[in-house]
Structure 1
């Protein structure tokens, strides 16, 4: 830690404290995530191990937050990340005007490039949401918070936890308790983020898991074994029955979207995971090649220093990250913009 000068505390989560710091020799501003080992016998927390493993699997990429180094400190260790000024959620919320179509295209291009790169390297992020998409001072978007990430394989017997992804962006197979799934869960989340940018509000804002499924079924219609082969074999399929209802045309759900945007959105939000468009294919969709073309990063909203953090109780309180914060206990999701 001697090589860093602490500028202030950003927050404290379940697995450590996050500081804004300056590398003394280079002058670089970074985010330090200190992860203590409460008991040496406990070993390194799984979420921290996953984050380290995932980011080490990925070589440096302009659309994935950079893990600069990891080093031991006291009875724990420190993760050093590049410091990012804000996140997509905060940028959209604080913008004076709704995003233009060109700006939405620009953010979606950067998101898809990051997701495609992760999937090419066999990484499932499993928690894509606007708060985990960091925005640099220059306007570039990068994927962050790989605490739920997994290296996936073609092993059909491999099982994963279904308790991943923030509810509003959780794929329907996860809501039905799937233990075997693929990178399609990230594609569903990308579709939810896309719809949110187009509509300036979340597509599926469920208050709990049951209501979340209701939100999805209300718009996409009640799935059947014909439209979603294998659905009836999902672990939680028989635990609840929904009334049959037809899908609502997405043209009515996202009324201001262009025809190309709606076509791409429909390719993301598909019940069977294997029928969802891949991130690499989505990058070639006509949406990105029709006027208006994606905005240059200098034409995107200027990120402001993020101050709002959500506590476990759901209340919000503002802090300035340049001022040392004492007695601040934040939910891990709240500090996603800095880790």
Structure 2
């Protein structure tokens, strides 16, 4: 801490406070996250402002870096479990993306409400988690990456639910109500109920500016059956990234 001068508090998350600070030696501006590990009370959570629209090449670069970081985690047997824009830090000068709050959700259950009674966001939560699956795997992070990808492209959240039920309905209205055919075992999950039988929509409707390869990658990330979702490693090889100079990462 002696290396840095704290300038101002920029946010407060479920697990602690984030400060803007300056490296005393180099003058570089950094984000410092002070983590509250003893959870006697549920942390406050604030929803940040909607992100500004991003140029196509920036979306591509950030998505690739996100996949690369998560592929590294998954390759070491670590799930993030709480990926969302608020947990992604960007060095604006170098356009380098960093994943924060890594693995904290392994240590704690994510509270449904903060002590300020604000709902903790469900927008990036995979349907198997929303439906009460007790065993889940790397697919939970891939679903979150898909939601973040769509949000970068369309400038607003893809599934902005304000309760677990509303979250599921947002998902089902776009992707269709899941069935045993496209998601074996779904009707046996703990919180499964009978839902209206929606038909799946074409994803281009919600991301009209996204090129066809991008829509294909997004579709592969937002598969209902977690076993059918593309892996982070395979996503990095997807044709969507063919125009990206990967050597910079």
- TM-score interval w.r.t. the shorter chain? 0.7 to 0.9
Matched-pair contact (CA < 8 Å) for 2:16–2:33: no
CA distance in 1, matches of 2:197, 2:67: 33
Structure 2 matches for 1:157-176, cutoff 5 A? 166-176=121-131
232, 237, 242: which one pairs with 1:284? 237
Match of 1:8 in 2: 7
Q: Check 1:162–1:236 CA distance in 2 against 1; reply closer, same or farther (3 A cut).
A: farther
Match of 2:78 in 1: 123
**What SS does the corresponding residue of 2:209 show, helix, strand or coil?**
coil
164, 168, 171: which one pairs with 1:209? 164
C-alpha displacement of 1:26: 7.2
CA distance in 2, matches of 1:209, 1:261: 28
Q: Check 1:294–1:247 CA distance in 2 against 1; reply closer, same or farther (3 A cut).
A: farther
**What SS does the corresponding residue of 1:169 show, helix, strand or coil?**
coil
Q: What's the TM-score, normalizing by structure 1? A: 0.60
37, 48, 57: which one pairs with 1:102? 57
Provide structure 1 residue ranges, at least 5 long, that are not aligned to the other structure: 36-43, 48-88, 152-159, 298-339
CA distance in 2, matches of 1:25, 1:256: 43
Q: Check 1:12–1:282 CA distance in 2 against 1; reply closer, same or farther (3 A cut).
A: closer
Provide structure 2 residue ranges, at least 5 long, that are not aligned to the other structure: 41-47, 113-119
Q: Check 1:114–1:193 CA distance in 2 against 1; reply closer, same or farther (3 A cut).
A: same
Q: Check 1:106–1:241 CA distance in 2 against 1; reply closer, same or farther (3 A cut).
A: same
Larger RCO: 1 or 2 (CA < 8 Å, sep 6+): 1
**What SS does the corresponding residue of 1:128 show, helix, strand or coil?**
coil
Q: Check 1:256–1:20 CA distance in 2 against 1; reply closer, same or farther (3 A cut).
A: closer
CA distance in 1, matches of 2:185, 2:102: 29
Q: What's the TM-score, normalizing by structure 2? A: 0.80
**What SS does the corresponding residue of 1:33 show, helix, strand or coil?**
strand
- Structure 1 residue 182 corresponds to structure 2 residue 137: yes
- String of CA shifts for 1:244-292, please: whole Å, max 9, x gaps: 12101112222221110111011000011111000000000011114xx
Matched-pair contact (CA < 8 Å) for 1:268–1:277: yes
CA distance in 2, matches of 1:203, 1:126: 18
